[in-house]
Amino acid sequence: MANRSLQISAWALSGGIAVLVLGTALALAVQAKGVGLHPADWAALRFTLTQAALSTLLSCLLAVPVARALARCTFRGRRALILLMGAPFLLPVIVAVLGLLSLYGRNGLLNQTLQALGLPTVTIYGLHGVVLAHVFFNLPLATRMLLNGWHAIPAERFRLAQTLGLPSPFRHIEAPMLAAVLPGIALSIFLVCLTSFVVALTLGGGPAATTLELAIYQALRFDFDPGHAALLAGVQFAICAVAVSLAARFTLAEGLGLGLDRAPVGQKAHWVDAPVLALAALFLILPLVAVVADGAPAVLQLPALVWQAALRSAVMALVAAGLSVTAALILVQAKVAGAAWVEGAAMLPLATSGLVLGTGLFVLTRAFVRPESLALPVTVLVNALMALPFVFRVLLPQARDLHRTYDQLAQTLGLCGGARLRWLTLPRLARPLGLGAGLAAALSMGDLGVVALFAGQDQATLPLVVQRLSGAYRMDQAAAAALVLVLCSFALFALCDIGGRRAAP
């Protein structure tokens, strides 16, 4: 009975997602004047795939040693470091770019140091700069997701490995966990990088660094060719579909079995852990310091509307997080109960272009209501939708374990419905639920996306205010408002993440 209602809700949700994501693209496609990709589109496709693949590969490769070091080291500030790992991913793109440039730019710390030492300077602009920025964004996310995987390995396994005198637990315990978790993480990162365009263009150094998303932007803005935008969005969907099926193919089922929830012990720190963590922390924290240093001076001179927008954004972010987590929990349970297709639906929003989604919604709704009256609800809905793939990804590995280890027991006990949710699912998934809610809230807080298309004068969200300030020469205030945004995002993230960890058994 409970299973049936779960199935129905999962179907309904997937249908809703598909209608929103594909329907909006379709709304533009019907306006097509002609079909066919331009030569420039093929160049954009090639660059898009190259940068996304490189960024994914590097983020994942680097995340493994960092997560491993975090999993087996205990030191002062470890929790703070893990928490801070959430921050880069949550930065508004242009803020992060400016932060990175404080370090690696032509006038950045690195080049100033090189100059002082009489060494030749380096340039960040180019494919390597794009990849560097994407690794900065995604390495922490990958690390957090991997760390959850490490935490989910029952302590008994490591003890057993010790007892059996296995030379290294990697091959028998950690490698299978990685095989189960990494493809999904790689998929998320790949899809995030797929739709990047501000980073790609700004750090790419020129129009050779054109991504599909920029081509979509151009098609909608200057050429006003919605059909072409829809076609390009279609190409992005196709890439997404291929990526989802590849990831599913390479994801190995994990079988470490049931643990007794003992505190993780038995793993000794390795000498490489300390330098790995130090380097990762420097790489992630220095640009954040630059963001704080840029923004701090003007914070107290911010106009009142910044604080109003911050409050509005925070409330919207929490609502979006609630929606997103609820939807992800339903989908993830349907998925572990055997409905494989759910994963495609959950990952679909990552493939869509925010601009196509927003424009499509605008076209579809404007016949019925004034766009301004929908600005806030549509923004919340779209933010919840865009965060869903991440929340789903964060929940999936542990939900899979939970199902495998407790499903039979729960069925034997007749534990189902609300009781099962309350006594089994929620407490057992508290950690990823907290992380997922934190990610969703912070992503929504920082998202500019569709609100710019809909918002009237008095409905500005904080990211929109940041954009408006910097569009009017007020770069100092924009930097300060961006800092407020980052702090709000981070506070929401920390609140949910710590809450989840506290609630975990």
Kindly list the residues in this chain that would bind another protein in the complex (CB under 8 A).
40, 43, 94, 97-98, 101-102, 105-107, 125, 197-198, 201-208, 210, 214, 217-218, 220-224, 226, 303, 305, 359, 362-363, 366-367, 370-372, 452-453, 455-457, 464, 467-468, 470-475, 478
**Closest distance of CB 198 from another protein, Å:** 6
Q: How far apart are CA 289 and CA 282, in angstroms?
A: 10
**Closest distance of CB 310 from another protein, Å:** 15
Query: Are 436 and 395 contacting, i.e. CB atoms less than 8 angstroms apart?
Result: yes
And the tokens for 390? 């991440």
Minimum CB distance to another protein smaller for 21 or for 98:
98
Distance of CA 377 to the CA centre of its chain: 22
Minimum CB distance to another protein smaller for 161 or for 219:
219
Q: How far apart are CA 254 and CA 470, in angstroms?
A: 49
Minimum CB distance to another protein smaller for 81 or for 124:
124
Minimum CB distance to another protein smaller for 271 or for 368:
368
Distances (CA, A) of 43 to 215, 243, 282: 10, 20, 35
Q: How far apart are CA 128 and CA 119, in angstroms?
A: 20
Minimum CB distance to another protein smaller for 241 or for 364:
364
Minimum CB distance to another protein smaller for 197 or for 390:
197
Query: Are 24 and 360 contacting, i.e. CB atoms less than 8 angstroms apart?
Result: yes
CA-CA-CA-CA torsion sign (493, 495, 499, 501): positive
And the tokens for 138? 């995604």
Q: How far apart are CA 392 and CA 478, in angstroms?
A: 33
User: Nearest CA to 183 among 57, 89, 65?
Assistant: 57
**Closest distance of CB 23 from another protein, Å:** 16
**Closest distance of CB 111 from another protein, Å:** 10
Minimum CB distance to another protein smaller for 388 or for 448:
448
**Please, which contacts does 46-49 make with residues 24 or more away whose CB atoms are closer than 8 Å?**
47/200, 47/204, 47/208, 47/209, 47/210, 47/211, 48/194, 48/200, 48/211, 48/212, 48/213, 49/239
Minimum CB distance to another protein smaller for 99 or for 183:
99
**Closest distance of CB 51 from another protein, Å:** 15
Distances (CA, A) of 449 to 147, 249, 381, 443: 30, 32, 12, 11
Minimum CB distance to another protein smaller for 362 or for 406:
362
**Closest distance of CB 55 from another protein, Å:** 18
**3-class DSSP state for residue 460?**
coil
Between the two ends of the chain, the Cα-to-Cα distance in Å is 28
Minimum CB distance to another protein smaller for 66 or for 98:
98
**Closest distance of CB 89 from another protein, Å:** 20
Query: Are 316 and 444 contacting, i.e. CB atoms less than 8 angstroms apart?
Result: yes
What's the per-residue H, E or C state across 110-125?
HHHHHHHCCCCCCCCC
Half-sphere exposure of 434 (CA within 13 A, CB side): 19
Query: Are 31 and 348 contacting, i.e. CB atoms less than 8 angstroms apart?
Result: no
What one-character DSSP code corresponds to residue 140? Answer: H
User: Nearest CA to 327 among 377, 384, 403, 382?
Assistant: 384
Minimum CB distance to another protein smaller for 148 or for 467:
467
Minimum CB distance to another protein smaller for 300 or for 367:
367
Q: How far apart are CA 458 and CA 464, in angstroms?
A: 11
